[in-house]
Each structure stands twice: as C-alpha cells, then as structure tokens.
Structure 1
C-alpha cells in the first residue's frame, strides 16, 4: 500500500492533491528568482544591446538543458533524502574535488553580488525623491537581506520570494507590452549561427540563461522543504508534480530573459553606455524619455529581481557551503551557528565588492568560469543518476539531453582558447614544472625526515631554500596584466609552512618576497609582504587543521584575498584609486584559482606517495611474518 511522505500535508483527497501540487512549487520559485536575477540585467540585456535577438537559439539550448539538469537534481534529492552535494562526493577521483571547486566558485560569486547591489542601488536611486549615495543604498539593501536571513528560516524565505514573484510577473508583462517586438527577427534568432568573434559571448550566455552552478542550490531548498525525508513509495508520481512545477519556474525564467533581451534589443541603436555605468541602468534612464509610463515599473521590478537574487543566492550558497563544510570538511560547528558565520563571511566579501566598481566585469568573468565547471558537473550528474535504484533513474530522453547539453558546454569552452587563457590557465601550464619539483621533493630524504619528525636545522635550511626558490620561480613565470605581475609565488611559502611550520613558511616567503620587491613597481611592497604572510598562514593552518582539499582551497583563496583585498589597498595609499581597483579585478580570480589548485595538487601527490609507501610496508610485513621465503621465490624465474 502506498503512503504519503510525512512532509506532505494530510486531509481530504481534494485538499491533499492541491497541497501536493503546490508543495514543490516553493523551491522552484526561489530557483527562478535566483537564476533570473543573477545575470539577466547584465549578460542578457547586454546581448540584446549588442546582438539583438541573434542568440535566442542559445537561450533555447540553455533552458532545455538546465530544465533536465534541475529535474535530475530533484530526482536524486527526493529519492535519497540528501542534497546533490552528497551525491557529488561519490564521484571517483581525488577526495571531495567536486564540492571543493564548487565552494570556491560560490565564494567568488559573492563578489558578483556586490555588483548586483550596486546596480540595484542605481535603480532605486532613480525612483526615490532624495539624493543618496548608491553605495549606501546597496549596503542598506544588504543589511535588510541579512535581517531576513539571520533566523535561518526556510519558510520566511519562501513567503518573501512568493511576494517578489507576483511583483516580477506583473512588471514583466507590463514592460513587455511597451516594447515593439519584431516577430520576424525573433524567429530568425532561433536559427543557430556560430561566429568565432562571439564564442566568449555565447559561452557567457550559456552560463547566464537559466544560470549555472546555482542550479545545484535547488537541491538545497528542496531538501529543506521535504526535511530530508526520502520519497521511496511513489517517486514517479511526485516527479510528475515536480516536472509541472519546474515548467512553471522555467517558464518564468524564459519570460524574464526575453523581456531583458527585448529591452536591450529595442534600444541597441540609441543608447550610449557610459564607462563604469550599468547598461541596464542606462537603458532604464532612456526608457524614462521614450516610454515614461513603463519605465518606473521596469526599474522597480529590476530592483526587486536583483534584491531577490541576492537574498536567495546568499541563502542557498550559505546552506550549501554549511553542508559541505560539515560533511566533507569535518567542521563540528552547529548548523545554525555555522550558517550565520558563513552569512557574515559572505557579507564581508559583498561589502568589499560594492566598492570595487565595474560590477559587470565581475559578473561576466565569474559566469564564464562557472560555466566550464558546470559542464563537468553535468556529466557527473549522469554518473550519480546511474547509481540510483533501477526504478529511480532517469529516462533515455533525459540521459540524451544531459549528455548532449554537457558536451555542447564543453565544446564551446574549448572552441575559444583565449577565454580559458583569460582566467588563469597560463599559470596552470607554468605550474607544471613546479609540480614536477614537488613530485621529486615528496620522494626525497628531506621530506621523509619531516614525516618522521627527525628533521634537523640543516633540513630546515634546505626546506627554506627550496621553497624560497620555488616562490621566485612562481614570480618569474608569472605574466603582466596592466603592469601588475599575476603569479603563483605564494604556493611555495605556503607549502613550506605546512611542512616546516610558520617560521619555515615566513623564511621562504622572505626569499620569494625579496625577489618580487627587487622587480619594482607600485605593487612591489604589498606583493613582497603578502608572500611572507602566506607562508605564516600555511604554518598556522597545518598546526590547527587536518588538511583536506577543501581546506587547502580555502587557504589558497584566503591568502590571495588577504594580499589583493587588504595589503594592496593598505600599502599603496598613494596610488590612484582606479589602479588599485584594476589590480583587484585582474588578479584576484586567476591567482586564487591557481594557488588553490596548486595546494590541492600538492596534497594529492603527498597522499599518493604515502599510499604507495604503506602498500610496500604491508607487502614487506607479509613477506616477513607469513612467508619469509616468498621474496626469494618471487625472484626466481
């Protein structure tokens, strides 16, 4: 006999059916707000401004694929009672590599949220009768969002989002009615057309339309809604309900995306985008002069959409990172307290990003990087689905859509090599020799002495010299971006600190920092000091933590954040404000990713060597204790 899961309301048959139909709609609407607001006012409107309706075919591909993606996530969550992040941890390979990089992306995306709030402040400022600095509006909005989230109540979040959805739907229909949509041009936009000049734009749109890695957050909200209770008795029926709810949610996403694209396309020939000004804001000002009755509705709806995206995005990412830290990172802090600590950390990043400027640059770069990882996660979702019980797996159609969609995402990423090069892959290539030296070091007598705890002062000196030299190599093999050296110089001192303690890390940092300072430039001093700080951080982290890929990733990102967000502004007080902001924009992302990746690779080399040594010790013990003659027998021909 089939039973109703405990998380569904009871009552009469009609009432229960209505409740079931509406029960799963809440997480979908939260997802719709989050995905519509993340890049709709930036990537999609910019696409309309520059290319009209040309890329509607990209919209169709993105929405079909991401609908299937969300549907697969829902099936896993309802079937197992776990979030998709638990499933990703089951993927073969280095331990927790998937959730580690997702966590890094989620943290970096907080900088983009600072851009969202700046744009939202521009909108609201145009509607209020008094003059208030835009940054103040952005920070006040952030404060209100924190107050709404501080309790950690999913029910409160769902109620607030429902009100926002109603406002947005009315605003979208009203704004669309004010546009003169050229239906022939719209129809032509669904015909695929590839131009090498547009690969970066296509890739960004694939990540922006329907969002990317934030689709994984749907699992978090669905898990909160169901209380983590698996649906084992009537999963097919519940998935039919989820499918209809997802159609509603993705219908709203499609509507909002088309509105933003249409507004951008309608004013592509008459709007001049000023430097440092949001294109969405510029178009809105133009709307006031051309369609006065529609502009206030659009502007207020845009503010609500951006605020809703930040509200839901912070909540979902905080819940996801909280779960990842507790499950994969072994953090023992109570969930509610950890959730609030993450909120505070996210708010600090957003606060700093509000004053960085150029929000569209941040959003576009993070979106492009996330789309690469998103394609890989698409294949991972197929693997996870295949491990579900036979009756809970996806259909052949679902598998086909997921396989083709994930392949398209990877193909577009590989077509434009310059796109990948722009985000730190050159440093990854130059990191190869560094990793080869690490491979040799791990197998050396010096590393063995530190493993056994018998290292001498001479060993300490050699450790400092080796990793100080590697820090110099990291600077030497860096590359210039706007007269600033983008490098991986901090990896050497951090590893020296991990192996030999804070003193060893600091000393290796002094060697690498001295070389960086000798090269000169207005960022020479903060670059040199940061290398020493990184070495100390490595030593402190090794003494306080059991090192895991996730914790090393946090250490790498944290070391670069201290350098770029704190030391550069603090130690270059005489430098022009715009140049400091350029350094932050150009260096934070690639250096954080490469440093984190280098530290994780070091841990993998170390653990692989230990497993090899342990296996050799086991074989030796078996030979000596069980069959002393085994070794001589094996050596016989």
Structure 2
C-alpha cells in the first residue's frame, strides 16, 4: 500500500476519535499510530522555545520600534509571530513525521549542509557565549551597583548555565524554563499595564502601514523576534519530551501555538512600553542590551524603584533563560551532528532514525554534548576581557544572517519531497508562509551583510 493511501486512512480514524488506544474504538492500523488528543497538560517544548527565543536583544529591537514609530508597527509584530509559528511547526512536523532529526534531513540534501552547519555552530557558539553571558550580567550589575563588576557576573552566569545543563536532564530543564517564562510574562505585562496603553491607537496599529524610514525596522520586527537557531532546536526538544512519532502531531501543534502566542504577548507588551513611555517623551535609549538598563532608569524616574527593580529582574530572566536554552538546545544539535558524522565515517553508510536516542536522553550524556557546553562557556570568557576581533565579528554576523534563510528554504525543500510521508508534506498555507519567511530572511540577510561591511 502506498504511503499516501495508508496515511490518509490512519489519519481519518484518528481525527474521528476512533481507533485510539484505550478509548474502546477500532484497533488502529499497524504502523500508523492514532493521533493523541491535544491537551494543555502536554505543553512543554513550546515554553522552552518561548523562553529561549526571546532574548534581551529582541526586547530592545521591539522597544526601539515602539519608541520611534509608536503603535504603527504592531501589525508587523503579529505577522512575525505567525511566520515563526509556521517555521517551528514545520521543524516539529519533520521530526515526528519522518522519525529523523533535522540534521539528518539537512544531510540528505548534500555535503554542503554539513560544511555550513559545522562552521556555523563553532563560530556562532564562540561569539554567542560571550554575548549571552554579558547580557545576563548587565541587569545583575544594575541591581547591585556596589557589588562585583560586570565581568564577574558574566563569568558566574556562564558557569551556572554550564553546571545546570551538565547535571540536569530535559524534564528538569523544562520545569526551570517554565519558571523563567512565567517571570518574564508577569514582569513585562505588569510594566506594560503600568504605562497605561492607548487601546484605540493599539487597535489602529493592527492595520498594515509603513511610516517613512520604517521598512527595515518592519522587516526586522517580523523576522527577528522569536529565535534563530532555537527554531531548529525545537524539533530536538520535541523528541526530548518523548514525542517521537505522528501520534503527537496535534499535541505538537498546540504546543507550538502556545509558544508563539506567548512570544506575541512579550512583543506587544514591549512595543506598548516603547510607544507609551518613550515615543511620546522622545527618550532615546543606548544601543544593544544597554538600552534595557536605560529603560530601567526611565521606569525608576516615573514609577519608582520597585517597578524598576522588577523590570531588571525580568530582564535577567529573559537573558539567562536564553543562555540556558542555547546551552541545552544547540548542544543537542551539535551532539547529533558529531554522532552522525562519526558513525557514517565508521560504517561508510548513512545513519537513520536517531530521534529515539534523543528521546532517551542519550544525547544529554554524550561527550559531544558536554564538549559543546564547554565550548559555549570557557573560550568565550576570553572575549569578555578583550575587544571582539573585527574579523570574527564579521564571520559571526555573516553566518548568523544566513541561518534563517537556510532553515526556511531547506524546510520547504524537505517537506515537499519524498523524504516526508505524503500525509505530512506541506499544504499550500505552509508553503506560502515558509516561502514568504524565506524571502524575508534573504532580504534581511543581504541588509545585515551589507551593514557589516559598510560600517
């Protein structure tokens, strides 16, 4: 029986509520697990994505968009969340529908993907490690101005992240990230309510318009908030949760929507803060993560020290949550990359079906996983005490700029080919969203590369 025929029959029985184990219905077809009912009690990997994907840099970008253009670009933030829902859903669908990890899919597209990912993950991890540690240290230094300097806090955050991921497994990691997301959510929404949003203007901001000079802010807002490589890590977290086959497809889709609805709340809340607190008063913020320290000062002047300190705590939760998420998720990807490469060299044959090893937690105990954890932590500490070399920054920026187009366009390729069972290939909506996302990321990639070489 062909894939398309058998898939369609298995899906029908599941969707109708029949053939589900323990429900007293008909026995499902062999090899075609019945779809589980989507339930809030399963939600988890999406929470991890939301806690990891929205870092301090994303909050600054949204804040600046609100400070410069008010509520006008609110529609772009909403579209950005829809684009990221499509990308993450495609990643999770690949893992569940094929029983293969995303890197295995990339590997099937040719040797060039292995070369690109290998270079990218090494250079990106080196520079990102220093960036994540510095970002986590900023709010701690601001909360304790008479305490140790920022480099001390940065090194401490890196070491704490290393120890936490090294000694814990996915279940504990997920619980920790749930606490992080709750703290971020409460603080950011609380501050947005305190600044008294103009609901009338907010509703008008849902109508697409482009003020003068806003084109690249708009594209950046659509494409930049909600994760880069963590989008690819989502499939690995899905497997770490124990979801390894198509019976979890409905659950994964609910989980993914929760992730990006939560992300949407963060983005809208920060845009409100930028529009109400900064746009009307013309307050300018510093560049990068320091802009959030500046915002803490503005909040203290307007609402007092308690609100300012709460915001700095939320800033720390945002930055440290992103650090922990990358330390875990990208290390899983790197471990898959190395294990597969080693086995292929040893056997001379392609290696298939490694999602079960991810689900069993074997990757989290592996030497490559822990080696990448050390790479994210110790070499970047040197960058904290040195100005980042220009050449390294350029390579990091170029590789990073190319990652999202690479992810979007390879997902279109994989999910429209015979590598994916017919039932789970892209429909027209998924193709449109992934293609538009890929095009958007290509435009942003070109702009970022041009900016790197013209500054």
Same fold (TM over 0.5): yes
Once the two structures are overlaid, the 10-residue window that deviates more, 148-157 or 313-322, is: 148-157
Q: 5+ residue gaps in structure 1?
A: 5-9, 425-480, 482-585, 587-637
Q: Does 1:61 align with 2:79?
A: yes
CA distance in 1, matches of 2:72, 2:397: 20
* RMSD, aligned CA: 3.6
Structure 2 unaligned spans of 5+: 1-8, 15-19, 24-34, 347-361
Task: Flag the 1:54–1:404 CA change in 2: closer, same or farther, 3 A.
Answer: same
The separation in 2 between residues aligned to 1:285 and 1:11, in whole angstroms, is 57
Partner of residue 59 from structure 2, selected from 30, 34, 41: 41
Listed as ranges, the matches of 1:296-315 within 5 Å are: 296-315=309-328
- What is the Cα deviation at residue 393 of structure 1? 1.9
**C-alpha deviation, 1:82, in angstroms:** 2.1
Instruction: Summarize deviations over 1:98-134 as a string: whole Å, max 9, x none.
Output: 3432444444443244234323322123334742211
CA shift digits 1:418-474 (9 cap, x unpaired): x433446xxxxxxxxxxxxxxxxxxxxxxxxxxxxxxxxxxxxxxxxxxxxxxxxxx
Aligned residues of 1:39 and 1:363 also touching (Cα < 8 A): no
Counterpart of 1:319? 332
Retained in 1: the 8 A contact 2:83–2:437?
Answer: yes
- Counterpart of 2:290? 278
Contact 1:45–1:264 (CA under 8 A) maintained in structure 2: yes
Select the structure of larger CA radius of gyration. Answer: 1
For the residue of structure 2 that corresponds to 1:281, the secondary structure is: helix
Which of the residues 303, 306, 329 maps onto 1:291? 303
Q: CA deviation at 1:175?
A: 1.6
Deviation at 1:148, TM superposition (A): 0.5
2:269 aligned residue: 259
Corresponding residue for residue 577 of structure 1: none
- Whether the 8 Å contact between 2:177 and 2:321 is mirrored in structure 1 is yes
Could you tell me whether the CA contact under 8 Å between 1:32 and 1:253 is conserved in 2? yes
Q: Against the structure 1 CA distance between its residues 263 and 393, is the aligned structure 2 distance closer, same or farther, given a 3 Å change threshold?
A: same
Q: How many residues end up aligned between the 2 structures?
A: 404
| Residue 253 (structure 2) pairs with residue 243 (structure 1) | yes
User: Partner of 2:358 in structure 1?
Assistant: none
Check conservation: 1:379, 1:402, Cα contact below 8 A: yes
Decide whether aligned partners of structure 1 residues 200 and 396 sit closer, same or farther in structure 2, where only a CA change above 3 A counts.
closer
Does structure 1 residue 218 correspond to structure 2 residue 234?
yes
- Partner secondary structure for residue 226 of structure 1: coil
- Counterpart position of 1:400: 432
- The TM-score, its normalising length taken from structure 1, stands at 0.57
8 Å CA contact retained: 1:30, 1:161: yes
CA–CA separation in structure 2 for the residues paired with 1:307 and 1:248: 21
Q: Which residue of 2 aligns with 1:539?
A: none
**Secondary structure of the residue that 1:162 maps to in structure 2?**
helix
Are 1:370 and 2:400 an aligned pair? yes
Secondary structure of the residue aligned to 2:265 is helix
Q: Which residue, 436, 443, 449 being the options, matches 1:420? A: 449
Distance of aligned partners of 1:125 and 1:318 in 2 relative to their CA distance in 1, 3 Å threshold: same
Structure with the bigger RCO (C-alpha within 8 Å, sep 6+) is 2
- The structural deviation recorded for 1:254 is 0.7
| Contact kept in structure 2, 1:49 and 1:264, CA below 8 Å | yes
Matches of 1:173 and 1:202, distance apart in 2: 22
The alpha-carbon deviation at position 31 of structure 1 amounts to: 0.5
- Alpha-carbon distance in structure 2 between the residues aligned to 1:277 and 1:404: 29
User: 1:150 pairs with 146, 161, 166, which one?
Assistant: 166
Encode CA deviations 1:399-422: one digit per residue, 9 max, x unaligned.
2222233233334555x5xx4334
Aligned to 1:348: 378
The match for 2:115 among 100, 104, 108 is 100
